[in-house]
A and B are shown apart, each in its own frame.
Chain A
Amino acid sequence: DTGVSQNPRHKITKRGQNVTFRCDPISEHNRLYWYRQTLGQGPEFLTYFQNEAQLEKSRLLSDRFSAERPKGSFSTLEIQRTEQGDSAMYLCASSSDGHYGYTFGSGTRLTVV
């Protein structure tokens, strides 16, 4: 197992386009988290899955954002009608019951032009 994998590593898109990111967590981890990080700030929570169930969503996650984890393994984060303010690093992390702390992926850097 090579840790948490995120694809793509970088994405440049025009304003108004839709984008989708993928996260493959550590295989035995049942919890998966999406965070967003902008320059000079710590990661901000977006959403959390336990297995396939999405248990919490941040107020930051507008109607344009949707996340899925269909079989409790990989997850996707889709942003529709992207805006320049969506430009950020999108980080995925995973963990398992009874363990503290996350393992983060390397992130997907989104630039909306």
Chain B
Amino acid sequence: EDKVVQSPLSLVVHEGDTVTLNCSYEVTNFRSLLWYKQEKKAPTFLFMLTSSGIEKKSGRLSSILDKKELFSILNITATQTGDSAVYLCAVERGGGFKTIFGAGTRLFVKA
């Protein structure tokens, strides 16, 4: 059965810390891996990764995919309180059908 596993489930850090969130997956017909940020409402898109070893960056956030070892990491440097959220990892299957989500990592950044 397809699955996406995220770790840790929750994390508490202080402002300025760097965090690494992990995502491993077992999904047939892999198409892409996506990271979303979810605050109070709907998930908002962060990154889409399709190729191994190519880092995607957006400000203080970066992510990389390893398709051989079937995992991805999301790094956040110099964390801010506004980074507090649930970070969801998801794998999109080919054919445009369902995307399988992990349970998320709940990040809390203390001022």
Chain A residues in the interface with B (C-beta under 8 A): 4, 31, 33, 35, 40-45, 48, 50, 55-56, 58, 91, 95, 97, 100-107
Contact = CB atoms under 8 A, between A and B. Distances in A.
Given A35-B101, A101-B48, A107-B41, 18 more contacts: A33-B99, A40-B104, A42-B90, A43-B43, A45-B98, A45-B99, A45-B100, A91-B42, A100-B31, A100-B48, A100-B50, A100-B92, A101-B32, A101-B34, A102-B99, A103-B45, A104-B43, A104-B44
Contacts, number: 57
Q: Is chain B's interface secondary structure helix, strand, loop, or mixed overall?
A: strand
A42 B96 contact: no
B48 A43 contact: no
B92 A101 contact: yes
Contacts of A43: 43, 88, 101
B101 A44 contact: yes
Interface residues of B, number: 23
Contacts of B100: 45
A55 B1 CA distance: 19
A40 B50 CA distance: 27
A83 to B, nearest CB: 23
A97 B96 contact: yes
Contacts of A48: 96-98
Given A91-B42, A100-B48, A50 B96 contact: yes
Contacts of A106: 41-42
Contacts of B50: 100
Contacts of A58: 98
B61 interface: no
